[in-house]
Amino acid sequence: MSLTVLAASLGMDVSDPAFWMPLLLFAVWAVIFLAGVIQGGLELGMGVLLLASSVRAQFQILDVLKQWRYAFLAWLAIGMMLADLAFPAAWGALLVPLKMPLLLLLGGMTLRQLALERWLRVDTGRQLFWSRVVGAGALLAILGQGMAVGLFAVQFEQSWAAWWVVAFMSVGLVATYCALAMTWLTQGVQGLLQRRIARWARILLRWSVAGVVAVSMALAINNPGVLFRWGQGGALLAALVFWGCLLLAIILLEMLLRRVSKLPARWKRLPFVLEAAWIVAVLGGLFYSIFPYLVLDEITLWDASADVAALRSIACIGLFGVVIAGIVYVVRWLNQLRRNGAVPQAADRDQA
């Protein structure tokens, strides 16, 4: 559907600020959301890996986490503040059915943050305990996110069948974040440890794909409009190309992880970049499926948005700061990636 047709269906014109300003702020929020998912997925995935890592591997992972311990919280706070200010009418409809996932997310993030700060300050003998608490907090935060996505996909249904689907999606999100973290970690280790991490990344990647398929099926079954959007006219060909590209990316990622120890140094970041791009593509498909709704078949962007005067204030005051902060953050993140990769070099004898 073109923007002109969409605007006409709402009784507006494309040039009307009441039409394009909510669309612009939603696009900005979507960019913040995607950046937060990649950053949060990396941080939380590494946190979960602490629950199954050796002592030395934990120190290597935590050495990475402490450098970015406030990054995901910043993206989360900015995203929630922008959504609250720009689309206040959607909060009442979403916060009530999502109160449990949000409590898990915020509780897990709080536990993770406090434990990480405590880990930095205690002596070596007690750091092992606090590293496990960091991992437990990260796991709770991921499960909260997975539960939120699952409940949205089943349209907040409360049956036992729906909760089984939600649980499966939560497991799939844990696998996705852990696979993302492992593709990052393969850059900074060598030998046996690198091959073990790559093998586990391949296993988790399959669970991640299963979770994406589950979300897609739940959306299609619970909302025929989503299935119609992907299946009508030329959209069917685009859908086949889209899913074909996702499948090709998974196959290529599997091949790269199998041969990661033989990759040239300049290619060792490719698995992480490909995994991150795959996640962004899946989320892009999710946005396409539900657009222009914030609550499927009930509340659109324009139903939920604040008045034009408020949107102007939000755009003028916040947009510039958000963009500048994002640029500074990305530059710093890329600089960190260039300087020390993922973690210090590990010996073959280290255990994952």
d(CA 278, CA 314) in angstroms, rounded, equals 31
- Is-contact 133 115, C-beta < 8 A? yes
- The pLDDT-based confidence of 339 (bands split at 50, 70, 90) is low
Average of per-residue pLDDT values in the chain: 79
Mean pLDDT computed over 267-279 = 87
β-partners of residue 295 are 299
pTM over 0.95: no
Residue that the structure tokens 């069917």 belong to: 236
Nearest to 113 by CA among 81, 140, 86, 153: 140
Residues contacting 271, CB < 8 A, separation 6+: 183, 186, 198, 201, 253, 256, 257, 260
pLDDT in tens, 18-66: 788 888 888 888 888 888 888 888 888 888 888 877 777 777 777 777 7
pLDDT, tens digit, 9 for 90 and up, residues 149-207: 888 888 788 888 788 888 888 898 999 999 998 888 887 666 677 778 888 888 888 88
